[in-house]
């Protein structure tokens, strides 16, 4: 059921999810949940670095259909990383590369060509 949150976001209906996406996500998500106890063992915890010290070209993307908290985090990253480019994907939730693969590829090609 978790796969629906990542694909739907808080405002889309079930019929708005592209055919096949739930099936693509179900296996990897189950693997992730089964191995969740290991996360704490290998996690470094929350980042403590200063985003303003990032000095490489940075592209930050967010799905406009994602949960508001995630959108806020992404916008903060884009605001605090010097020169970061923020791209908002109008018809994507949390998993923008699955939701909008052609748009993501186009944005990445343009960004990498700079």
What CATH number is given to the structural domain containing 54?
3.40.50.1820
Contact 61, 77 (CB under 8 A): no
Q: What is the pTM of this model?
A: 0.72
pLDDT score recorded for residue 94: 87
Which residues contact residue 70 at a Cβ distance below 8 angstroms, ignoring those fewer than 6 apart? Answer: 62, 94
Mean pLDDT value across the chain:
83
Q: Which two tokens stand for residue 21?
A: 């996406």
pLDDT score recorded for residue 39: 73
- What is the tally of structural domains in the chain? 1
User: Which residue range forms the structural domain that includes residue 74?
Assistant: 2-113
pLDDT score recorded for residue 45: 67
Model confidence pLDDT, tens digit, residues 41-81: 777 766 778 999 999 999 999 999 998 999 999 999 999 99
The residue count of the chain comes to 114
> Can you tell me the distance from the alpha carbon of 16 to that of 98, in angstroms, rounded to the nearest whole number?
13
């Amino acid at each position: 059921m978790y796969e629906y949150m990542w694909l739907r976001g808080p405002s889309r209906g079930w019929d708005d999810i592209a055919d096949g996406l739930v099936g693509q996500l179900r296996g990897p998500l189950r693997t992730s949940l089964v191995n969740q106890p290991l996360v704490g063992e290998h996690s470094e915890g929350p980042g403590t670095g200063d985003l303003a010290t990032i000095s490489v070209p940075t592209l930050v993307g967010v799905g406009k259909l994602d949960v508001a908290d995630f959108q806020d985090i992404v916008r903060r990253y884009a605001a605090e990383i010097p020169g970061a480019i923020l791209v908002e994907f109008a018809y994507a939730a949390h998993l923008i590369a699955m939701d909008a693969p052609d748009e993501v590829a186009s944005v990445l090609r343009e960004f990498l060509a700079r």
